[in-house]
Amino acid sequence: MEHLINSNVKDIEISGIRKFFNLVAKYDDVLSLTIGQPDFPTPTHVKEAGKAAIEMNKTVYTPNAGIPELRKAATEFVTKKYKMDYDPETELIVSIGASQGIDIAFRTILEPETEVILPGPVYPGYEPIIKLCGAIPVHIDTRETGFQLTADLIEKNITEKTRCIILPYPSNPTGAALPETELRKIADLLQDKDIFILSDEIYSELVFEGKHQSIATLPGMREKTIVINGVSKSHSMTGWRIGLVFGPEYVMKQMLKVHQYNVSCASSVSQYAALQALTTGINDAEDMKVQYQERMNYVYGRLGEMGLEVVKPSGAFYLFPSIEKYKMKSFDFALKLVEEAGVAVVPGSAFSELGEGYVRLSYAYDMQTLEKAMDRMERFLKNL
């Protein structure tokens, strides 16, 4: 009965990141720089809050949108950090990670044959959901603009079918961010257009220079923008699965219906841990960010010494060096690197066709691991 399975589901594939991660698991003595996950433990005070929630039997269903205390804390967090203003009662949904937030956002605003503009190369989690909605992803080549989706590029690709534009910054896989000047140009372009913006800001606390700015804070953009955030990257809470979705009330009341029938609510225990993270732990990301920047500078410098072209990241914890000069497919290069040097990175092709000719490596690993991996990679390239 396989022919009865939804064709949209059969047409999508498992993430290329996970595919390669699973592939290299069978090799011994491999230093893996593949998964985008903080290597820091969840802060102790956050874990204690989760334990306390269990001991106090806070293990029942919560309101669909999340516990009121967490919604209030989350809106206060983004106000203090980024000057964003949202009503905790009507303009925020606590989701099961940023991924589920993206899912319910797309299922609320997309219809068959509508188009979604997104930069390429790009995180592979958007395209499958767009396709499951029957909509069409439109990848825009950002390789000549420092991996930034500019207003000029957007304008050239807007059609009457354009329903949404994705701004995933700071970026996975490139670490690029959009400067305020470019955000303002995009805002000016979209002022009079009925087009949604999905702004994925999950790495907002990991910006190395200056402060993160959301396009939702610019004139005329709040009513068009759905903001995705969460505590996975900022507080090293990937497994707790708490995302935060902000948006104007008219969108959120519709999105809440999708969320309700999708999952009912996020984990109650995780919500109380996230409450602790966003209040007592409001600045927990600062120490992690300092270490990430040190690691980034080290790996960026080593890659440059190896002769690899790479755009210096503005945030997140990824580098995306070009391997085009070796005249190899990114998958073949990455597999050879595993087999001959014992270092695992992610083929750029996992991030759309526009990622071909690159590899992504995560520096969310301790310095000892990074030093060993760079030494191995340098020897590998010398013999390639």
What is the Cα–Cα distance from 156 to 288, expressed in whole angstroms? 39
30-34, 100-104, 153-157, 377-381: lowest mean pLDDT where?
30-34
Work out the percent of the chain whose per-residue pLDDT is above 90.
Answer: 92
What is the mean pLDDT of the segment spanning 298-324?
Answer: 98
CA–chain centroid gap for 68, Å, is 26
pLDDT of residue 26: 83
Contact at 8 Å (CB) between 204 and 81? yes
Mean pLDDT on 37-60: 97
Instruction: Record the tokens describing residue 198, joined without a space.
Output: 């999905």
Q: What is the mean pLDDT of residues 141-163?
A: 98
Would you place residue 10 in the very low, low, confident or very high pLDDT band (cuts 50, 70, 90)? confident
pLDDT band at 185 (very low <50, low <70, confident <90, very high): very high
* 15 has pLDDT over 80: no
3-state per-residue secondary structure call for the chain: CHHHCCHHHHCCCCCHHHHHHHHHCCCCCCEECCCCCCCCCCCHHHHHHHHHHHHCCCCCCCCCCCCHHHHHHHHHHHHHHHCCCCCCCCCEEEECHHHHHHHHHHHHHCCCCCEEEEEECCCCCCHHHHHHCCCEEEEEECCCCCCCCCHHHHHHHCCCCEEEEEECCCCCCCCCCCCHHHHHHHHHHHCCCCCEEEEECCCCCCECCCCCCCHHHCCCCHHHEEEEEECCCCCCCHHHCCEEEECCHHHHHHHHHHHHHHHCCCCHHHHHHHHHHHCCCCCCHHHHHHHHHHHHHHHHHHHHHCCCCCCCCCECCEECCECHHHCCCHHHHHHHHHHHHCEECEEHHHHCHHHCCEEEEECCCCHHHHHHHHHHHHHHHHCC
pLDDT of residue 99: 97
In this prediction, residue 8 carries a pLDDT of 85
170: preceding bond cis by omega (within 30 degrees): yes
Give the pLDDT band of residue 357 (cuts 50, 70, 90): very high
Reported CATH class of domain 2-42+285-382: alpha beta
Per-residue confidence band for 25, with pLDDT thresholds at 50, 70 and 90? confident
Structure tokens, 44: 């102790």
Instruction: Give me the pLDDT at residue 140, please.
Output: 98
Rounded CA-CA distance 143/313 in Å is 14
Average pLDDT score, the chain: 96
Q: How confident is the model over 280-288, as a mean pLDDT?
A: 98
Architecture label for domain 44-278: 3-Layer(aba) Sandwich (3.40)
Mean pLDDT value of segment 299-322: 98
Give this prediction's pTM: 0.96
List the domain boundaries for the chain. 2-42+285-382, 44-278
- CB of 364 closer than 8 Å to CB of 317: yes
Give the pair of three-digit tokens for residue 304: 């440059």
Q: How far is CA 45 from the centre of its chain?
A: 25
364 — pLDDT class (breaks 50, 70, 90): very high
Statement: residue 279 has pLDDT above 90: yes
Q: How confident is the model at residue 134 (pLDDT cuts 50, 70, 90)?
A: very high
What's the pLDDT band for 14 if we cut at 50, 70, 90?
A: confident
Packed helices 367-382 and 330-341: angle between N→C axes, nearest 10 degrees: 110
pLDDT digits (tens, 9 = 90+) for 203-256: 999 999 899 999 999 999 999 999 999 999 999 999 999 999 999 999 999 999
Q: Residue 90: its pLDDT value, please? A: 98
The reported pLDDT for the residue numbered 18 is 76
